[in-house]
Amino acid sequence: MIKVARESLVKNHASVIVANDLTKIQNGQHQAYLVTDDQVLEASTKTEIAEAILRYIK
């Protein structure tokens, strides 16, 4: 999943991608990764994902 996210960064000229498996979302819990060129941050809830995105854009 991380490899695909990094390929998507390049293909879409993006600076960050949130990668997750939508089939594994349950009760607000799911594993997701905030992927940049040089960093991968892991989050386990929607709140953690939102907080990681906010930290990235600040």
Grade residue 52 by pLDDT with cuts at 50, 70 and 90. Answer: very high
User: Is the pTM of the predicted complex or chain greater than 0.85?
Assistant: no
Range of the domain at 41: 2-57
Average pLDDT, the chain: 90
Task: Indicate if the pLDDT at residue 28 is higher than 80.
Answer: no
Specify the number of domains making up the chain: 1
Task: Indicate if the pLDDT at residue 53 is higher than 80.
Answer: yes
21 in Cβ contact with 36 (< 8 Å): no
Task: Indicate if the pLDDT at residue 58 is higher than 90.
Answer: no
